[in-house]
Chain A
Amino acid sequence: MITVTDLHKEYIDGESHVRALRGITMQIDKGEFLSIAGPSGSGKTTLLNLIGCIDTADSGEIILDGDTVTRKHARELVEIRRGKIGFVFQDFNLIPVLTAYENVSLTLSLMGLKETEIKARTMAILREVGLEGMEHRRPAKLSGGQQQRVAVARALVKQPLIVLADEPTANLDSATGESILQMMRGMNERWGTTFIFSTHDTMVMDYARRLCRLHDGLIESDEKRSA
């Protein structure tokens, strides 16, 4: 479903050139629960950004659901993101003026769904992430774990092709982080949603069904794991 071929990305910051990705090739199938692991600076975020169509590669190719996104224009990439990709960020990134409910339903409003459908789907996903009764709280009135649950609900409510999560538990204590991962894996198992998340935490890697280790912009190892 996702084919990454010989992906290169270099950051030029004045005099210094950082080769963040130096030829990544991999295949990701539908329904995978994949962890991209590696030390700081190994290129995890860069890879997720490229797969998520919010950054452009220098060379190489990404084919996403049949679309060669590496050849597409920014305008087309927005549409792909809107329809097919859900993001979960390390620091939640909820909109502070919106309630939990509104943060989630915004995604569906963007797709132009009918009000009744938006309501049904939003309430269902909020129940799923265990936030029933907290729909009308603003992010400031939610704990970190609860905020990340809203973020996961926001990413999943549109039933995306892939969910990209860059260090989703890095800002949470380990117990809360684990519960988030458990929840994500449950969704992956029941709905078959593809998850790609990055981490450098071994506890988090343990949840992965496939672990891909990066080092210095190259794949160091790539292995399937049994639960």
Chain B
Amino acid sequence: MKTRRRAGRTPLKVFLILAVKNMARYRRRTLITASAIACGVAVFAAVASVMDGFSSESDRNFIDYETGSARIVAPGYWEEREQFPLDMVVEDSSEVIAQLEQEGWRAAGRTEFRGELVIYYDPFPEDGNIPMAFAGVDPDRDPEVFRLKESIEEGRFPAAGEDELIIGRWLADRIGAEIGYGVTIMTRTKDGYYQIMDLEIVGIFNTPNPHVNRNVGYLPLDTADYYLEMEDAVTGVIIRGDERVPGSLDPAPIASLMEDRPVRVMSFSDMNKEFAEIMEMSEQITSLILMLLAVIAIVGISNTMLMAVLEREREIGMLRAMGVRNREIQWMFFFEASGIGFIGAGIGVMLGSLLMWLLVTYGIDYGEMLGDIDLGYRFGEVLYGIWSFSALIQAAITAVIVSGVVSLIPVRRMLKKQVTDCLRHS
């Protein structure tokens, strides 16, 4: 590369070379500081990988087992859903679903209700009374919308018209349930009358969604319809789209299809709102951790550069006497510091990739850690990371720039000194 001569301009290359030589001279210090930066970059990348994995898995587990991509409910139902009201329903569900299917949507009705699961000693180990949620599911259509059927671990999915129930592995283990055991559900009908259903456990499922595993039992929709006297009404019609990003389905076309019905069409983000708030909080905590990491890296590099500037005071004085401009001296140290940042970023990207690979492949098994605590998140007991190259690159670039900028603080202070004072320094 040729450098053309320009009046009053010094090729910055000169200072770049000087910076590299100084980095090589103080190899130990360079490597130690770079390692600190590398740790920061790697941990940042790992945290981002887990956070992203966490949120995308949580979204997927919501969609695949609870919310679907979109949902049609009665107005006001969603706000009251924790009470499982059976008087706010979507009427004529067969018609609604037929209408949706005609337009190419995959849809299934579900009736969700609250009740008590009553079990008796023999065959169960002891008598019991478990308040929990139930859902009537359409054996034909539900597998088109949810992945519940795929997660049957033992036994089978309940069949239409039968008095059958499936429960989650977690619950089954707690109450000692086996396939073939009979249970009773005590609940109320749509009109509020007490009702008792005697059902047989025909399947045990194990989904990655712990909420479902612990708290929900499923029976055929028509069985539920019969016992609860729903008359073809359901608490929700759930729709599954082909959207690539989980939860990004646009509900507008469905809404216009449902225009004439007294229903509300909810998108995934409508349904996920509260969870998104929790997510945001945990993101804030994460960014706090990241800030802490950044501070550690900044303290490391600024310490190193402060030392570098102080011990080269005479050299700086000499350079200034030779006619090196203050700006050029600043560049020299900027190059040196961002060079250290660059090495740190390089090591950090490698280390971070390794961590990500471990997280993607093996995940973090925190199941034991949390025990039975339900945080309201929807992820399994092993939390997997996802590849987040943007986090790696973002962290690397930040490390390089921040390192360089941090170096300017001690350099500027040094340049405020008189040249003669710098030279006199011993």
Contacts and interface: CB of A to CB of B under 8 A. Distances in A.
Interface of A: 49, 52, 54-55, 78-83, 85, 87, 89, 93, 95-98, 106-107, 109-115, 154
Interface in B293-345: 314-315, 318-326
A97 B22 contact: yes
A46 to B, nearest CB: 9
A203 to B, nearest CB: 25
A87 B419 CA distance: 13
A180 B243 CA distance: 82
B323 A79 contact: yes
A178 B202 CA distance: 107
Interface in B9-50: 9-11, 14, 18, 21-22, 24-25
B416 to A, nearest CB: 11
A81 B325 CA distance: 10
A82 B322 CA distance: 6
A207 B395 CA distance: 62
B314 A109 contact: no
A221 B418 CA distance: 30
9 contacts: A78-B325, A79-B323, A81-B321, A82-B323, A93-B423, A95-B18, A107-B322, A110-B324, A112-B11
B172 to A, nearest CB: 71
Q: Closest 4 interchain pairs by CB?
A: A82-B323, A81-B323, A97-B21, A54-B419
Contacts of A87: 318, 321-322
A83 B323 contact: yes
B420 A55 contact: yes
A49 B317 CA distance: 12
B8 interface: yes
B6 interface: yes
B423 A89 contact: yes
Given A93-B315, A110-B10, A112-B11, A78 B25 contact: no
A97 to B, nearest CB: 4
A114 B323 contact: no
Interface in B43-74: none
Contacts of A52: 321
Contacts of B418: 54-55
A55 B22 contact: no
Interface residues of B, number: 30
Contacts of B25: 96-97
B14 A110 contact: yes
B3 interface: yes
B330 to A, nearest CB: 13
Contact of A112 (B10, B320, B423): B10
A96 B418 CA distance: 22
Nearest to A55: B420
Contacts of B420: 49, 54-55
B319 to A, nearest CB: 8
Q: Is the interface of B mostly helix, strand, loop or mixed?
A: helix
Contact of A54 (B6, B24, B321): B321
B244 interface: no
Interface of B: 2-3, 5-11, 14, 18, 21-22, 24-25, 314-315, 318-326, 418-420, 423
A79 to B, nearest CB: 7
A78 B329 CA distance: 12
A98 B18 CA distance: 8
B419 A110 contact: no
Contacts of A96: 25, 315
A78 B21 contact: no
Nearest to A117: B5
Given A55-B420, A97-B24, A109 B323 contact: no
Of residues B5, B321, B325, which shows the largest number of chain A Cβ atoms within 10 Å of its Cβ? B321
A112 B10 CA distance: 5
A114 B5 contact: yes
Contact of B320 (A54, A83, A98, A113): A54
Contact of B8 (A79, A80, A89, A113): A79
A171 B165 CA distance: 97
A156 B22 CA distance: 25
B321 A97 contact: no
A28 B323 CA distance: 22
Contact of B18 (A55, A80, A82, A97): A97
B320 A78 contact: yes
Nearest to B20: A97
B195 to A, nearest CB: 87
A115 B5 CA distance: 10
A81 B322 CA distance: 6
Given A54-B420, A82-B323, A98-B18, 12 more contacts: A52-B321, A54-B321, A78-B324, A78-B326, A80-B323, A82-B322, A89-B423, A95-B318, A98-B21, A110-B322, A112-B6, A114-B5
Nearest to A113: B5
Contacts of A81: 321-323
Contacts of B9: 112
A106 B14 contact: yes
Most A C-beta atoms less than 10 A away, residue of B2, B320, B322: B322
Given A55-B419, A89-B423, A97-B21, A110 B323 contact: yes
Contacts of A107: 322
Contact of B323 (A78, A95, A112, A113): A78
B385 to A, nearest CB: 42
Given A97-B24, A97-B25, A98-B21, A85 B323 contact: yes
B318 A89 contact: yes
Contacts of A80: 323
